[in-house]
Structure 1
């Protein structure tokens, strides 16, 4: 596996060419903060979701009525990116449209993924450019899996505390598709104590109202301040019993049960004009 390492005097981050996926975050004291990808539970570590987030009915999306096969979370996470920039504290990988991608997604696009380190933080940005002559619909999202428990916090209850202190409405998935029925929020005054039972029926999804930042970890000890930009949807996920929790900001969700198969009509799909570029990002600051 081709890896690029970026670092400063605080943290070291490894990124793979496959999926432009972050593989590890290590602080200078030797602690690892990212899930290690144990295949017993899940081989992912921090996949990028593009050009859809979540599932499509029968793994099929339509573009102007024409059907295309599209597996869950799209094809970017299984694609080899090209290394465009390599600096000591920053790298950029690129995925461009190809004959293979057009068979699944009939658009001319460019997807640049930048990783950089800033003090004790890693910043991941995705820039999508529409090189086509028509509006390009897509979904995009991040899926980083942080260690649960965090290093040095074994045995301590972990939680998620939203920066804005809200209680966003909950939606659940059924067969990988979004159930449009709104459920009561599991957050109380912005705080949710994590328990594996929350994920017995897959991810917990908050299409609106989660804000743009949170703190993940125990009430005392190590934590991650996680913030995001231009990503209105948020989800939490793990495999019950596994040692990770995914903090997932998205622009676009899985298709709704009974909803349209048309890509442009999926919930929260981005519609990018010809020649335009849109940027999406998250920042994970390690504390403690």
Structure 2
């Protein structure tokens, strides 16, 4: 059975599971929860880590150097048991090392470490990917946290996402789980997007570029969460239609393009890490209740 590690400070309490190194609880000191509870009637996830791909591969088959490997949506890390490598009052670090099971579907020697750290009213979730192989390793990495919509104390109020850069990033949609080549107009106006459930009737909203390095989600003059992103150039917003949550997903890598290259290294925004090198990706969320 998965185990839980709790970290806490005077402002926040966070529980992290060994299964997927996935955050299970994010509460403020008043006992209010801000993270989705994983009700499987809508969606059983809470804050999965996406590795070694983000999104789908065509026919759920990943191509690496011309070879084919079975790979489900968002990769295998979210369904893998991690090992607790470090735990203190305000930090926990879980690690997933390559194994015969992972090598059968992703033929590289790697180490994926996921660290949750509290500092004041902010939580940072960081992923470090180390290539321990003798050859370059292509991959994608993403975060998929789901937060309550409406936020605590904000029922019946309009919720807004505002980009720090006040940009109007172009939108793409999914076609059978793959990135559609059709580029759509931005739903943001001067960086502002008023949320409504109709936005997600066609699945996720994906912004491959120009969404910037941070955003605010919440109620104007009310509860708000501020996010900042490190080495995560892609942004997706997703809600299971009618569910009381919204996923704010920073990525480095997206699903494969429809009718595009099948090679992992050629997927949009995939990374290729040289032997012995490490890549770091992180988001920080600060809660203003």
Q: TM-score range by the shorter chain?
A: over 0.9
Aligned CA RMSD, in angstroms, stands at 0.5
CA shift, 1:120, in A, is: 1.0
- Paired with 2:248 and 2:181, the residues of 1 have a C-alpha distance of 21
- Local SS of the residue matching 2:59: helix
CA shift, 1:159, in A, is: 1.1
Match of 1:54 in 2: 55
- Local SS of the residue matching 1:171: coil
Match of 2:200 in 1: 199
CA shift, 1:261, in A, is: 1.1
- Paired with 2:262 and 2:131, the residues of 1 have a C-alpha distance of 22
- Paired with 1:63 and 1:11, the residues of 2 have a C-alpha distance of 42
Match of 2:150 in 1: 149
- Local SS of the residue matching 2:241: coil
- Paired with 1:259 and 1:106, the residues of 2 have a C-alpha distance of 22
Deviations 1:119-172 (A, max 9, x none): 111100000000001000000000110110000100001010000000000000
- Paired with 1:150 and 1:169, the residues of 2 have a C-alpha distance of 27
- Local SS of the residue matching 2:102: helix
- Paired with 2:78 and 2:234, the residues of 1 have a C-alpha distance of 19
Match of 2:8 in 1: 7
Match of 2:172 in 1: 171
- Paired with 1:40 and 1:220, the residues of 2 have a C-alpha distance of 32
Query: TM-score, normalised to structure 2's length?
Result: 0.99
Q: How does 1:105-254 map to 2 (within 5 A)?
A: 105-254=106-255
CA shift, 1:175, in A, is: 0.6
- Paired with 1:62 and 1:46, the residues of 2 have a C-alpha distance of 27
Structure 1 segments of 4 or more deviating over 2 A?
none
Match of 1:30 in 2: 31
- Paired with 2:285 and 2:21, the residues of 1 have a C-alpha distance of 17
Match of 2:276 in 1: 275
- Local SS of the residue matching 2:236: strand
- Paired with 1:157 and 1:24, the residues of 2 have a C-alpha distance of 24
Mind listing any 5+ residue stretches in structure 1 that lack a counterpart?
Answer: none
CA shift, 1:34, in A, is: 0.3
Match of 1:284 in 2: 285
Deviations 1:252-271 (A, max 9, x none): 00000001111111110010
Query: TM-score, normalised to structure 1's length?
Result: 0.99
How many residues are aligned here?
Answer: 288
Deviations 1:232-280 (A, max 9, x none): 1100001011011000000000000001111111110010000000100
- Paired with 1:175 and 1:199, the residues of 2 have a C-alpha distance of 15
- Local SS of the residue matching 1:227: strand
